[in-house]
Structure 1
Amino acid sequence: MESGIKRAEQMCRTRSSIAARENSRLRHQHGRGPCNIFILDTSSSLGEEGFRQMKEAFTGILDEYANHQNIDENVAVITCGRHTEFQRYYSNHYEDIKQALDNVEIGGPSPLTVAMYLSLESLKRDVSHSYVMGSFHIHPRIILISDGRPTDFTESISDDCPSNETERDASHLLDITRHIGKKHPIFCIPVGRNPDLRLLEFICAQSRGGKIINFRESKQFAKYSLNTKIASNLSFTMENDGNDRERIQTSLVCTFPEKVFTEMDLNDIYEICSKKFLYQPIDENTEVENDAYEERDPRMPSLGSRVKRGRDWRYPDQDKFGPGTVIGHSKRDGWLNVEWDTGSIHKYRYGSADLKTDKFDVQVCNEPRILNDELIATGCNVTRGPDWVWNDQDGGTGNIGSVLHVGSDGIVLVQWENGRRGTYRFGNYGFFDLKLCDPFSPEVTRYHLKKAALNSSVETEACTKGDQDLASKSSNDKTVEMTKKPILHVAKGKYFRNDIVSNKPSDIDTDGPTYPCTINQWLWKDDNGHWNQYSREVNARINQSYKRDPNSSVIVTIQDQAYRVVMAKSKQINLATREITEVKLLKNDSSP
């Protein structure tokens, strides 16, 4: 059986190489715009109605492409059924492409895996290309119009029937689409009598920005490149990262005062702006290789570990001065794949043997993932939810997992404490296999402390220096002592450390001299339950971050100790001791 699979894969790859050479030879007919490979399911399992839906969706997309000649979409077509082959190589001659479909008939099996293999070589840079619109890069993509019911690709089958559809065939299809999806989006348009929505959802979710498209909304999907071009014009005028819908709408009105946008256009533009990281160029540093979510080296931080910039950080603000999550161990020895809380993914060095020679771009930390407007995100911690049907994959009730990847349609990838990984539903068609953990709960704190402890012997030196480097950047390059700081206590307007009064100027307005509370005055609660005002300088820094984004966090330094103030959660975290205290905001002149 295994040898049969390998032979079939090799045959598919050979056919893919031949098709790629033909695509390259016909470069003169290529469009200059984004590259699209359509895989059209023509198998008998669709039924006549499904076959009609498939053709209607495909021709509707081509008609819409023709309405926007300035985009110049590049289209290739693979049919999958009785004959699985390229019907058209890359071209922008849309009418000719539609005519080629006239001779295609319904019938045969559904070797979707073969069709995906055929597309492989034609997705590569020497055949296709990424289309650049401003700061947005639209990468070659696959549009699968199918009922999502694959049949065996290792042998010839005369027709399609339920007995020919097995879990093994679905597994093979998911393997190849996972491989393709690391770099390319896969969009699925379900058609037919009874499409397997669950499989199609998984295919989209494990790709780079793919999603399910209702076949009735195919024409709207065809405007995605056009709306991306519009979004690229906005990216230079928006101060935020595109997560503010009202700001986007205002920017649209100012940039395109005479253009009318439909509600669906606005939704597309907002989605594109809020997911800019999907449109970054794929280069050696940002590309996540195949099997990216693999744990290869026990000396490295385990998947799901939270990290921040370390002692040997040499990059610009890729991390936006915040934490991220380890999503995999690179095949390159000593490198990690990290997804920052901003959504960008990069590779970093993490030494594991000799501190004198190894480099630590990142270090393990215990800073939780704080959600903004998302329902769930990479780095969140989860346990089994109300719709759990996966036995003891999580190691048992109450065990905690870390989210490594969030698909666009409610499918998430989770790494559990027992080392197992799996994909689960979180909102997919209303099902929740998982529920979120409180990031400040004792259980989650212990979970991350345990992860950090596993790497403490490797990066002790890196952690100590890294915390201070990060703190010093947020306090006008003040020097932070290398020794561990005790917790500060306040009494009668003075700081006491080890029963010795500090003569340093106070960073917090306390019960000593009183000052009128400003319009936005932040306060923190001490061990005695008393609320204390931050100093004017620190308060101004917090307010500056709060004004920019109320859901952000900011690092402040008080008496040479670094704290992260999480405004949305009303928490203050001591970066050295991990002690959490409450903070609050007063917006009036009343006393605390």
Structure 2
Amino acid sequence: MVKASGIHIREKPMPGLINVISVIRSQLSLSVSTIQDRSLSHKHGTGPYNVFILDTSSSLGQNGYKQTKEIFTDILEEYSKHPDIDENVGVIVCGRHVKCQHHFSNRYEDIKLSLNNVEFGGPSPIAAAFFLSRGFLISDFTKQLGTFHVPPRIILISDGRPTDFTDLYCDDSPQTETARDVDQLQQLTRKIGRTHPIFCIPVGRNPDMTTLELISGQSRGGRIVLPSDARQFAKYSQNTRTASMLPITLKNDGHDRERILTSLVSTFPDNAYTEMDQNEIIEMCFLEKSPCKFRDDVEEDIENEREKLYEERDTRLPSLGSRVRRGRDWHFSDQDNLGPGTVIGHCKKKGILVVEWDTCSRNTYRFGPMDSSIELFEVQVCNEPRILENELIATGCIVKRDWTVYEQDDDTDDIGSAISVQENGAVLVQWQNGFQKAYRYGYEGHFDLQICDPFSPEAARYLEDKIRKVAINFPDGVQPYHQDVKIDLGYVSDPSLKKHVDSREENTVTSKTIPILKVPKGVYFRNDKLKNEISDVETDGPTFSVSRNQWFWKSREGTWNPYSREMNDRIHKCYARNPKSTVIVTIHDQSYRVVIAKNIQINLTTRETSEIKLVINEPSP
């Protein structure tokens, strides 16, 4: 210590403080240089701005680090093939050093060469990299592609395992990765994601898909991009411009996808578009041309009213604890990971639900009539229970009280749903009568609840009861395979609903039958790959063509049957993203939940289970 005018000054400040000050200074310096750099137009492209955050931490492993550089290089090479778009690229590295590696530029070869000076190793201060990225995110850098306004976007190539950004002097390890670091990262990316899409590309030995999905899913227009789809992602701006040129008005009646594809064929008859191109163009149209743009306001509500998140504001909407799946007006790519979720709140804005998916990501979705009187169902209520994998308890679990702990005169119902689960074992439960209360499930070794068997008769009745309550006001708000179910007074446990049913007891829960415009693959697009594919008309016939990675299910007779091409692709996509995930498939008009980790499928109607298996590079099972 040295003394100067009576003030004690450390000879060497704390490393954490140095790092925080360094990052703040870097961000301020980057903001100033970015503003100054705007006048040097010859260094910039005329297209959208992309901020790449490259994770170089030791947790990736040497192969993961190599993969990061290869993916980044592939994207740059694809950018160079589309000079008419003229993308701008800025680079931040995140590892032992967090710094701006390259300012915005369209000189892709120079950007590639700048990676030669990047050092591999160190921790994963991803939050510091996002903080630094704010220096890039200047509002004047929002570009216009056709009628679309495209703000600067962030592309994170990482394993999604953040560490404390105040400590840059240790190597990454599981001991340095804490829940607090993940929470800090999510809070920062939530604010950035309100106006800037965040795309996450998982790399490394064991990427944390849950964290990466949360980061991308809570941003406007962001999503997960698999490493194999990196070159496709590089065409994102090109597809955005294509979508902006389509002369179409969305009606939000469940058939806009067919309208968009038809408009694409008519507007660009000589162009060839892959299926992924088509999906991206459709997503762009929904994001920018929807008559009900609301999500920014809703996110502001959630941020400002977080203490009131678990509030049921509209009794006509699905009650808290209701299970949902993507609905007829879904246009959010794989934000749900093709699985179900749980309603955990109603927003102040009319007809907006807060849903927590079984992957733990949260977002808001429209349900029912909007202010414009248009009915939108981005999610629909279903009867799929929450199935635990390695968790002790999770949001969406159906629970009962443990009567060895509580007296019989407790003022709660016998069955309810967990709508919030904290890491310390505190659980918030919404009971069937709408009453909420906090309980312990593992907190300091205490257990106040019992988890119900998800396939028990009482659990099934509980979920069906929620469906029927919704169906009274919103027949189109339930899953299709429930839409031919007669409303049975015996199943509606809430007496207050009987008067509503009485006036409609002759009605069945049906959707309006509107002809759907068919757009067969390969017919309207110049795509030679699709011309020779075998039809899926016979989904489970005795003769079939086995794909490279084919999934099979076992019948009662013990024979192995292949899934149809569509179902096989759906299962394999989930398997590639998370081998422990589950997915819903359809076989002979029956719905099944495929539990990949257990190699079984469960009939959602009969609860009968059967085996499944994956055959790789084999002509027959």
Shared fold per TM-score greater than 0.5: yes
> Identity of counterpart residues, as a percentage?
40
> Contact (CA 8 Å) 2:470, 2:477: kept in 1 or not?
no
Shift of 1:85: 0.6
**Would you say 1:578 and 2:500 are equivalent positions?**
yes
Match of 1:162 among 171, 174, 193: 174
The aligned amino acid for 1:89 is H
**SS of residue in 2 equivalent to 1:201:** helix
Residue 149 of structure 2 corresponds to residue 147 of structure 1: no
Aligned to 2:29: 18
**Structure 1 partner of 2:521:** none
1:389 maps to what in 2? 391
1:64 aligns with 2:67: no
Q: Provide the TM-score with structure 2 as the length reference.
A: 0.53
Q: Deviations over 1:423-482 (max 9, x none)?
A: xxxxxxxxxx99999999545677999xxxxxxxxxxxxxxxxx9xxxxxxxxxxxxxxx
Out of 107, 122, 125, the position equivalent to 1:108 is 122
Picking from 251, 272, 276, the partner of 1:264 is: 276
Match of 1:231 in 2: 243
Letter in 2 for 1:389: E
> Contact 1:149/1:196 (CA < 8 Å) preserved in 2?
yes
CA distance in 1, matches of 2:438, 2:18: 30
**SS in structure 1 opposite 2:136?**
helix
1:214-363 equivalence runs, <5 A: 214-234=226-246, 236=248, 243-276=255-288, 288=300, 291=303, 294-296=306-308, 302=312, 336-338=348-350, 340=352
Aligned match of 2:132: 118
- Give the deviation of 1:148 after TM superposition: 1.7
What amino acid is the match of 2:210?
R
- What amino acid sits opposite 1:157 in the alignment? Y
Pairing 1:44–2:69 present: no
Q: What's the CA shift for 1:274?
A: 4.2
Question: Structure 2: how far apart are the matches of 1:47 and 1:13?
Answer: 29
Q: Is the 8 A contact 1:79 1:115 kept in 2?
A: yes
Deviates more, 1:5-14 or 1:43-52: 5-14
Distance 2:291 2:75 in 1: 22
Q: Give the C-alpha shift of residue 576 in structure 1.
A: 12
Over residues 354-382 of structure 1, what are the superposed CA-to-partner deviations in whole Å (9 max), with x where a residue is unaligned? xxxxxxx99xxxx9x9996x6x46x8898
Counterpart contact for 1:395–1:416, Cα < 8 Å: no
Q: 1 CA distance for matches of 2:119 and 2:253?
A: 47
Counterpart residue type for residue 416 of structure 2: N
Match of 1:408 in 2: none
For 1:208, the equivalent position in structure 2 comes to 220
**SS of equivalent to 1:40:** strand
Residue range with higher mean Cα deviation, 567-576 or 227-236: 567-576
Q: d(CA) in 2 for partners of 1:257 and 1:268?
A: 18
Report the Cα offset of residue 144 of structure 1. 0.6
Supply the RMSD in Å over aligned alpha carbons: 5.1
Q: CA deviation at 1:145?
A: 0.5
Match of 1:186 in 2: 198
Aligned-residue offset at 1:189? 0.9
Pick closer, same or farther for the CA change 1:571–1:24 going to 2, 3 Å.
farther
Q: Distance in 2 between matches of 1:285 and 1:440?
A: 31
* Conserved? CA contact 2:52–2:91, under 8 Å: yes
8 Å contact kept, 1:242–1:248: no
Q: Using the alignment, how far apart are the partners of 1:7 and 1:19 within structure 2?
A: 18
Q: Distance in 2 between matches of 1:134 and 1:571?
A: 49
Q: Distance in 2 between matches of 1:216 and 1:48?
A: 19
Listed as ranges, the matches of 1:457-536 within 5 Å are none
Distance in structure 2 (CA, Å) of the matches to 1:392 and 1:440 = 17
Q: Is the 8 A contact 2:96 2:121 kept in 1?
A: yes
Change (3 A) 1:303 1:143: farther
Displacement, 1:255? 0.7
> Residues 166, 202 of structure 1: CA spacing in aligned structure 2 closer, same or farther, 3 A cutoff?
same
Cα distance in 2, alignment partners of residues 232 and 572 from structure 1: 47
1:85-122: CA deviation from partner (whole Å, max 9, x where unpaired) = 11122222222222212222322221111101111243
Structure 1 contact 438–444 (Cα < 8 Å) conserved: no
Structure 2 gap segments, 5+ residues each: 1-13, 319-328, 330-342, 356-362, 401-414, 421-426, 431-435, 440-452, 490-495, 514-621
- Provide Cα deviations, 1:44-77, integer angstroms capped at 9, x if missing partner: 2222221221111111111212222222322211
1:528-554 CA-partner distances (Å, limit 9, x unpaired): xxxxxxxxxxxxxxxxxxxxxx9599x
C-alpha contact 2:302 2:309 (8 A) present in aligned 1: no
For residues 392 and 290 of structure 2, the distance between their equivalents in structure 1, rounded to whole angstroms, comes to 31
Query: Is the contact between residue 42 and residue 106 of structure 1 (CA under 8 Å) also seen in structure 2?
Result: yes
Cα distance change, pair 447–20 in 1 and its aligned pair in 2 (3 A): same
- Secondary structure (helix, strand or coil) at the match of 1:583 reads coil
- AA of the residue aligned to 1:220: Q
For 1:26, give the aligned amino acid.
D
Equivalent residue, structure 2, for 1:529: none
Determine if the alignment matches structure 1 residue 83 to structure 2 residue 94. Answer: no
Name the SS of the counterpart of 1:581 in structure 2.
Answer: coil
Whole-Å separation in 1 of the counterparts to 2:17 and 2:350: 33
1:81 CA drift (Å)? 1.3
Show structure 1 runs of 5+ residues with no match.
309-318, 320-324, 330-335, 348-360, 404-413, 422-432, 450-466, 468-549, 554-565, 588-592
Q: Distance in 1 between matches of 2:90 and 2:175?
A: 31
Q: Is the 8 A contact 1:370 1:439 kept in 2?
A: no
Identify the residue that residue 106 of structure 2 maps to in structure 1.
92
Contact 2:398 2:418 in 1 (8 A): no
Number of residues paired by the alignment?
A: 407
Q: Distance in 1 between matches of 2:394 and 2:202?
A: 32
Note the alpha carbon deviations across 1:260-297, whole angstroms, 9 max, x for none.
11222123223333444799989985773672561449
For residues 304 and 390 of structure 1, what CA distance do their matches in structure 2 show? 31
Given that residues 110 and 160 in structure 1 are in contact (C-alpha distance below 8 angstroms), is that contact kept between their aligned partners in structure 2? yes
Taking the aligned partners of 1:215 and 1:240, their CA distance within structure 2 comes to 33
Which amino acid letter does the alignment assign opposite residue 99 of structure 1?
L
Kindly indicate whether residue 410 of structure 2 is the aligned counterpart of residue 399 of structure 1: no
Q: 1:151 to 1:295 in 2, by over 3 A?
A: closer
Distance 2:290 2:158 in 1: 25
Q: 1:575 to 1:327 in 2, by over 3 A?
A: same
Deviates more, 1:385-394 or 1:27-36: 385-394
Shift of residue 26, structure 1, vs aligned partner: 0.5
Could you say if the C-alpha distance between residues 191 and 43 of structure 1 is closer, same or farther in structure 2, counting changes exceeding 3 Å? same
Structure 2: how far apart are the matches of 1:267 and 1:571? Answer: 37
**How many Å apart are 1:244 and its aligned residue?**
4.0
Distance 1:58 1:290, change over 3 A: farther
Residue 525 of structure 2 corresponds to none
Instruction: Name the CA distance, whole Å, in 2 between partners of 1:276 and 1:420.
Output: 41
